[in-house]
Structure 1
Amino acid sequence: MDAKLPQRLLLGLLILALMLFALTPIIWQFLTSVKTNAEIAAIPTVYWPTQWTLEHYQSLFNRRPIGAYLFNSSLIAIVSTLLSLGLGAPAAYGLARFRFQGQNLLLGAISMVILFPYIFLFLGLLELVKGLGLGNNYLALIIPYTAINLPLAILVLRSFFRQLPIEIEEAARLDGYRTMSLLWYIVLPLTLPALVTTGILSFIFAWNEYLLALTFMTRETMKTIPVATAAIAGSSIFEIPYGPMAAATVLATFPLVLLVLFFQRRIVQGLTAGAIKG
């Protein structure tokens, strides 16, 4: 008998318990979204629905432009993520490979920006949006989200660029590659896990952000899915629509789950890269 079998079983049970603890809120939201109103309000609590229904999802699409909310969130999150990576990658490469006066000061400033709560920028951003007339415009969220995610992208990608052997780039330069073509064709493919990891972090922030989206997007068809989900809770003064709220939460979470599952291997590679030196 394997002497380590009890330890493995204990570790497996611990991992299973942690998974259940982490997944319980998600599972509960999904079960609530497919219960009838009677089962949601039942006392004692009905944990497993006896009659599955999609009426809460149907009511969402019938009463609210859920498709528009999802489109707005997707467009804003995708564009801001691509801009963060597109602007952050060259900046990170420059900070990783070139030396110049004041570089440490610049890196310190970038680190401070990451630690600085973006909520403190709210009033300044509000004045800029009003002054430029960007209210109810996608740029009102794309520009701030890009600026907020950019320092993180620069620091994360810089650390990965510094781990690449400089000999690879020197050989590419001998073959005629210039800096931008070297970055595009050689360096970025080698750091794809880092790009995916950084991109997903940026995407999740842009998808979930609430305060700026609530303030800058007041037109119903321009709202993002987090703002629309929160608005459902106050849609009735006589009852709390738990079913539609749960259905909207599931719809808002589902794209993020698919994104993480699709890029799971790249995320793990990005998080563990550089942990082992060979």
Structure 2
Amino acid sequence: MRAPWFRLGLWVAGLVVVVNGLFPALWILFTSLKTEAELTRIPITYWPQEPTLDNYVRAFREAPLLRYFANSLVVAGGSTALCVAVAAMAAYALARLRLAYAQGILVALVALAMFPPATLVVPLFQIFTALGLRNTYLGLILPHAALSLPVAVLVLYSFFKTIPRDLEAAALVDGCTRVGALRHVVMPLSGPGVFTAALLAFVNSWDEFLLALTLAPAREMRTLPVGITLYQGEYLFPWPLISAALVVAMVPVALVIALFQERIVAGLTQGALKG
């Protein structure tokens, strides 16, 4: 008798997870299609009665949303590339080289992954101001890559440990260097892990707000999270306008997940099972 109840419990748990993930996104989408008058109407309307795209037009007209989008794309793309490159070399060293404190380093990475970014704001602000990196792409790419680095190293480490050493040995015999073996043998065989680490780094940078607000406050350097937040005024919260901008910000991540969901699931499950 336990099997049917257990299966029912799994279905209910899955339904809760799906609703919890989809409902906020659908609510934002429906809000972006409403007018201010309909949004404040009582009783509340869940489905837009008079759908309109004016909020999207206003979102691009009242703020340089395309510039914010481009800034986020440059910062997220640059930090992802840097994070994956450094994480691959670090994970390879931990998985293949005989380091005396490899386990201690892994424990430290787990601790760093749980470190609150808010504690880094003041020292990073002082350091980047002294280096002249505030309001620059590099000033955002470096800290964003550093924040995603611990998780990326742990993900890649779990994959690199499963690659047979004989394949690298054959590449080394053929004249390949350690870096070449990593690039041409290990990383291609760890494709799902590399993709998962890159996706996590990209989403983390795309959604990051506090450091982007502190280190790049100039209007022309704002990323999407910062730019969208500043749509509101002191006494005004234009929720339909903000929702339209949020939908624009969600599109890239949603497209990546929709197009590569199989690789994402494979990377997460294989990493969990192999690690």
Q: TM-score, normalised by structure 1?
A: 0.90
Q: Deviations over 1:16-57 (max 9, x none)?
A: 454233211110110010112221110110111121100001
Give the Å deviation of 1:106. Answer: 3.2
Name 1:267's counterpart in structure 2.
264
* Paired AA for residue 120 in structure 1: T
Name 1:71's counterpart in structure 2.
70
Unpaired runs of at least 5, structure 1: none
Name 1:244's counterpart in structure 2.
241
* Paired AA for residue 54 in structure 1: L
Asked whether the equivalents of residues 163 and 274 of structure 1 are also in contact (C-alpha less than 8 Å), the reply is no
Say if 1:78 and 1:233 are closer, same or farther in 2 by CA, change over 3 A: same
Name 1:156's counterpart in structure 2.
155
2:199 is aligned with 1:205: no
> Is 152-161 or 23-32 further displaced after alignment?
152-161
Unpaired runs of at least 5, structure 2: none
Counterparts of 1:211 and 1:272, CA distance in 2: 31
Q: TM-score, normalised by structure 2?
A: 0.91
Give the Å deviation of 1:63. Answer: 1.1
Counterparts of 2:105 and 2:273, CA distance in 1: 29
Asked whether the equivalents of residues 158 and 271 of structure 2 are also in contact (C-alpha less than 8 Å), the reply is no
Say if 1:129 and 1:194 are closer, same or farther in 2 by CA, change over 3 A: same
Counterparts of 2:9 and 2:215, CA distance in 1: 50
Asked whether the equivalents of residues 110 and 151 of structure 1 are also in contact (C-alpha less than 8 Å), the reply is yes
> Is 116-125 or 190-199 further displaced after alignment?
116-125
Name 1:33's counterpart in structure 2.
32
After the TM superposition, which parts of structure 1 deviate over 6 Å for at least 4 consecutive aligned residues?
4-10
Asked whether the equivalents of residues 92 and 161 of structure 1 are also in contact (C-alpha less than 8 Å), the reply is yes
Q: Report 1:97-176 matches (<5 A).
A: 97-176=96-175
Give the Å deviation of 1:163. Answer: 1.4
Name 2:252's counterpart in structure 1.
255
Report the RMSD for the aligned CA atoms in angstroms: 2.1
Give the Å deviation of 1:10. Answer: 7.3
Say if 1:50 and 1:274 are closer, same or farther in 2 by CA, change over 3 A: closer
Name 2:48's counterpart in structure 1.
49
Say if 1:27 and 1:197 are closer, same or farther in 2 by CA, change over 3 A: same
Q: How many residues align?
A: 272
